[in-house]
C-alpha cells in the first residue's frame, strides 16, 4: 500500500461515527465501538513524519469533539497508546464519567501524544518480531524472576460537549 492510499484510509477513520454511552454500564460498548488501531509495515512507517501523525490525531480529536457537541450531554475522554506487541497505534473514546481508563495493566497518563507517536515511528519491528534472533534472550530470561514492567504511557484528553475550542 502506498502512503497516499494509507492516508486516504486514515481520512476515513477521521470521519467514523462514535458511540456515546449513557451510563458506566456502557463501557464495553464504548470500547468496542470507539477503538481504532493503525499499523503499517516498516517501509511505510519510515515514510511518515511526526507532524503528519500529530495532524491526523488533531483531526480525529476535532471530529470527535464535533460529534460529542452535537449528540452528547456529557464530555468524553480521548486516549491513545502504542501497543508494541501489535506494532499498532491505538486510540479510543469513553465517557468521562468513568473513573479510570479501561486498562488491566498499569498505565500513566501523559500530557502530549508526541512521545507515543515517536515510540511508534522508532519501533524496529513493524514487519514482525524476529523470533529466531530473540530465542536466546527468551531462554536466558526463563530462569530469572519476573520483572515488573514500566507502566504503559497513555495520552488522554477530555473532549467537552460544549462549543468552546479544544
Q: Residues 6-32: pLDDT tens digits? A: 999 999 999 999 999 999 999 999 999
Instruction: Tell me, yes or no, whether 166 lies in a domain.
Output: no
Between the CA of residue 132 and those of 61, 85, 91, 103, 129, what are the distances in Å? 40, 17, 31, 31, 9
In this prediction, what percent of the chain has a pLDDT beyond 70? 87
pLDDT band at residue 131 under the 50/70/90 scheme: confident
Task: Report which secondary-structure segment, H or E, holds 91.
Answer: strand 88-95
Q: Dihedrals φ, ψ of 41, to 5°? A: -70, 165
Mean pLDDT of the chain: 89
Instruction: Tell me, yes or no, whether 110 lies in a domain.
Output: yes
Instruction: Tell me, yes or no, whether 164 lies in a domain.
Output: no
The number of distinct structural domains making up the chain is: 1
Residue range(s) defining the domain that contains residue 71 = 3-159
Cα–Cα distance measured from residue 75 to residue 162, given in angstroms and rounded to the nearest whole number = 8
Instruction: Tell me, yes or no, whether 133 lies in a domain.
Output: yes
Instruction: Tell me, yes or no, whether 141 lies in a domain.
Output: yes
Instruction: Tell me, yes or no, whether 165 lies in a domain.
Output: no
Amino acid at each position: 500500500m502506498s502512503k497516499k492510499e494509507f492516508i486516504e484510509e486514515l481520512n476515513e477513520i477521521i470521519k467514523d461515527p462514535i458511540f456515546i454511552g449513557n451510563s458506566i454500564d456502557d463501557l464495553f460498548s464504548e470500547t468496542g465501538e470507539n477503538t481504532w488501531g493503525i499499523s503499517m509495515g516498516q517501509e511505510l512507517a519510515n515514510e511518515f513524519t511526526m507532524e503528519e501523525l500529530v495532524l491526523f490525531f488533531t483531526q480525529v480529536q476535532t471530529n470527535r469533539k464535533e460529534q460529542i457537541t452535537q449528540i452528547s450531554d456529557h464530555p468524553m475522554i480521548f486516549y491513545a497508546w502504542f501497543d508494541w506487541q501489535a506494532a499498532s497505534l491505538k486510540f479510543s473514546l469513553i465517557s468521562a464519567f468513568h473513573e479510570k481508563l479501561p486498562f488491566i495493566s498499569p498505565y500513566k497518563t501523559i500530557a502530549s501524544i508526541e512521545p507515543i507517536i515517536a515510540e511508534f515511528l522508532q519501533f524496529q519491528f513493524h514487519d514482525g518480531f524476529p523470533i529466531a534472533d530473540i530465542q536466546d534472550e527468551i531462554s536466558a530470561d526463563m530462569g530469572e524472576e519476573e520483572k515488573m514492567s514500566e507502566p504503559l504511557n497513555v495520552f488522554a484528553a477530555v473532549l467537552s460537549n460544549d462549543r468552546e475550542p479544544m
